[in-house]
Chain A
Amino acid sequence: MIFSLDLLFEAVVFGVLLGCFYAAVSIGLSVAFGLLDVPHVAHPALMVFGAYCTWQLSTLGLDPILAGLALMPPFFLLGMAIYRFYYETFEKRGSDAGVRGIAFFFGVALIVEVGLVLVFGVDQRTVEASYIGSSVTFGEMRIPQRFLVACGVALALMATLTLYLAKTFTGRAIKAVAQDEPALRLMGADPVRIKQWAFGIATAVAALAGALLIIIGPVEPTLDRVYIGRTFSVVVLAGLGSMTGTIAAGLILGISESIVLMLFGASWAPAVSFGLLLLVLGVRPQGLFGR
């Protein structure tokens, strides 16, 4: 194999684009798991569900990104409902919530998966839009436009969420609930309501991430299984709940996957990101930007 700087540069550029996408699909989980401590294994399944809803809306002629935005309010409500249920059945009762909580979300993920298979079938689905299929040329490099669009939406999404958490009253309340829940309760605030709101936001973000998912490539009902590992890797690598960390971790994952893809071929790519995760867990469990 001839190793050249041009190829490396190309791999890094692709890695950055891919990394932004990974960060975008993980940011919802970063709120749900990183800030709220909910072992939300079903998050990627909801994302794939969002992708299918996007597909359904796009058959009516709606642009996939607009469809993703339109899906955010109903997903917000869905997320609030899921958290309420989770709280009433597990968190409220206290002990042993860990194992059963994970098992519960795992079951939900399976139900969503099979529900999608029963409604839409096992075939792969794709969407049509002007920016899908065309590409932009920079000198020698051709970059598929859909990656640029997804990357742009991802950055906008992350900027909005970071600002929201840092500047608004509710956003700060969400961060407070993550830092010290009893203290918040002593201040007279209701942590459950805040967490419910935050979980709604996380799920709404999953809808838009689902739209990005189907823009980047074809979607099938069992796609969530791959993304369970990827999204949790990013969130853990980032340090729980860190928004800047999520972007950095997404980039690290994207770039390392893309470089390994170039050097050793596609069959080795997934092992590296997960190897990275194991390494971080073993050496620095609080993540790169841990609290």
Chain B
Amino acid sequence: MKFWIPACLLLAAAAAAALLVKNEYFFFAGYTVLMFVVLATAWNILGGYAGYVNFGTPAFFGLGAYTAAVLFKAFALPLVLQILAAAVMSGLLGLVAGMLTLRLRGIFFAIATIALVVIMETLFINWRYAGGATGLQLLRPPPTAPFESYIKMLFVLMGAMAVGAVALARWVERSWIGRGLHAIRDSEEAAECSGVPTLRLKVFACVLSGALMGAAGAPMPMYLSFIEPASTFNLNYAIGALASPMIGGTTHYLGPVIGALLLSSLQQLVTVTVSSEMNVLIVGVLLVVFVVLAPEGIVGLWRKWTRRSST
């Protein structure tokens, strides 16, 4: 209840804003911020809880986006089904990649995920039906009833997905799965010896994380009315998904949310007011500063501060 009431209130506020506020840009930017909330939360399930760094966010995200685009082109499938299909496809990718590399040390998994991005990008560059290197133009269907524009509808949809992703992460964190993943992060050998099914838990986390990333990517073709390999499999998604939990804090489900809200809003602001190079610099500097000075992120700082003031 402590989680669901504020979450539903926030979602209702987002829907009300979508119906009342006229400025389209707000929703255009807000969609991206919410998308990074989903990506960061998804990343944290494997990266934060289990300590396996994933650079492959663009691979899962892009596979989801392309699954949605191809299904739309072939069968004009409704958006919700596109998202489900995208989640399934990216989850399968997570299963294969996880089975192959999660038996190895974390750094090998990280390298393998970089490889995954390049392989996925190459596949889609060479797939003519999906537009190849030049990309695919898509015609948006009209928005569904209460919404007057498609972007606003996507904004509310992404908000719902963000709430869903955070709820899933919260569930994982508090169940025996989360405790198992935590044990893996602290010491994999010790966890294995105490009877934690390490490989199965890691693969499960990888599948769930991948599926959420795929779902986050699914509305992207509709958002842009266009899809193209180079920008879909861009490393910037990996940067955002990795940096947000690191800045917010990896041990609590709110960490990635706080990190993503701060970082993406700042990025949106800087891209508009200064330049897009500056926004990459900000991410880099914040990442290094937090990793070095505040390893527990903002959540950790907050905990330290409340503990000090209470004693």
- Contact residues of A with B, CB < 8 Å? 33, 39, 89, 95-96, 98-100, 102-104, 106-111, 113-115, 117-118, 225, 228-229, 232-233, 236, 267-268, 270-271, 274-275, 277-278, 281-282, 285
Q: Is the CB of A270 within 8 A of B118?
A: yes
Closest Cβ–Cβ distance, residue A23 to chain B (whole Å)? 17
- Check if B112 sits within 8 Å of A277, measured CB to CB: yes
Q: Within residues 158 to 194 of chain B, which ones have a CB less than 8 A from any CB in chain A? A: 185-186
Residues of A within 8 A of B12 (CB): none
* CB of B104 closer than 8 Å to a CB of A: yes
Q: Which of B20-60 contact A (CB under 8 A)?
A: 47-48, 51-53, 55
Interchain residue pairs with CB less than 8 A apart (21): A33-B107, A39-B107, A39-B110, A98-B51, A99-B185, A99-B250, A103-B243, A104-B292, A107-B283, A110-B280, A111-B284, A118-B277, A229-B118, A267-B125, A268-B122, A271-B118, A274-B119, A281-B100, A281-B101, A281-B108, A281-B112
A139 CB to closest chain B CB (Å) equals 34
A121 to chain B minimum Cβ distance, whole angstroms, is 10
Taking CB atoms, residues of chain B closer than 8 Å to A98 are 51, 53, 106-107
For chain B, the bracket of interface size reads 35 or more
Interface membership of B80, Cβ < 8 A: no
The reply to whether the CB of B77 lies closer than 8 angstroms to some CB of chain A is no
Is there contact, CB below 8 Å, between A114 and B277? yes
Given contacts A271-B118, A277-B112, whether A117 and B133 have CB atoms under 8 Å apart is: no
Quick check: A285 and B53 within 8 Å, CB to CB? no
In the bound assembly, the distance between CA atoms of A225 and B52 in angstroms comes to 20
B115 and A107 within 8 A (CB): no
A117 in contact with B122 (CB, 8 Å): no
Q: Which residues of B contact A (CB under 8 A)?
A: 47-48, 51-53, 55, 100-101, 103-104, 106-108, 110-112, 114-116, 118-119, 122-123, 125-126, 133, 185-186, 235, 239, 242-243, 246, 250, 277-278, 280-281, 283-288, 291-292, 295
Measured in the bound complex, the distance between the Cα atoms of B133 and A107 in whole Å is 29
Are B284 and A267 in contact, CB atoms less than 8 angstroms apart?
no
A228 to B116, CA, bound (A): 13
Nearest Cβ in chain B — how far from A84, in angstroms?
A: 13
Q: Name the residue in A109, A110, A117 with the highest tally of chain B Cβ atoms < 10 Å from its Cβ.
A: A110
Kindly state the separation between the CA atoms of A109 and B239 in the bound complex, as whole angstroms.
Answer: 11
A274 touching B118, Cβ below 8 Å: yes
Q: Are A96 and B51 in contact (CB under 8 A)?
A: yes
Total A-B contacts with CB atoms under 8 angstroms apart? 124
Q: Are A274 and B115 in contact (CB under 8 A)?
A: yes
CB distance from A279 to the nearest CB of B (A): 9
Contacts of A107 in B (CB 8 A): 243, 283-288, 291
Given known A106-B242, A271-B122, A281-B101, contact A100–B291 (CB-CB < 8 A): yes
How many angstroms from the CA of A273 to the CA of B173 in the assembled complex?
Answer: 37
Residue picked from B115, B123, B235, B280, most chain A C-beta under 10 Å: B115
A236/B111 contact (C-beta < 8 A), A95-B186, A270-B118 known = yes
CA distance A267 to B277 in the complex (A): 28
**Nearest 7 pairs between A and B by C-beta?**
A110-B284, A107-B287, A271-B122, A274-B115, A107-B288, A114-B281, A111-B284
Whole-angstrom CA separation of A89 from B246 in the bound complex: 16
A232 and B111 contact, CB distance less than 8 A: yes
6 additional A-B residue pairs with CB within 8 Å, beyond A103-B246, A267-B122: A98-B53, A99-B52, A99-B250, A106-B55, A108-B284, A110-B280
Q: Which residues of A contact B235 (CB under 8 A)?
A: 225
B115 partner, pick from A99, A104, A114, A277, beta carbons under 8 A: A277
> What CA separation (Å) do A95 and B188 show in the bound complex?
12
Q: With A114-B281, A277-B112 known to touch, is A268 a contact of B126 (CB < 8 Å)?
A: yes
Given A99-B51, A100-B295, A268-B126, do A110 and B287 touch, yes or no (CB 8 Å)?
yes
Per the bound structure, the CA–CA distance linking A267 and B122 in Å amounts to 7
Q: Is the CB of B288 within 8 A of A229?
A: no
Residues of B within 8 A of A114 (CB): 277-278, 280-281, 284
Residues on the A chain within 8 Å of B112, using CB? 277-278, 281
Bound together, the chains give a CA A103 to CA B52 distance in angstroms of: 11
* A99 in contact with B53 (CB, 8 Å): yes
Q: Which residues of A contact B133 (CB under 8 A)?
A: 267
* Chain A residues closer than 8 Å to B277, beta-carbon distance: 114, 117-118
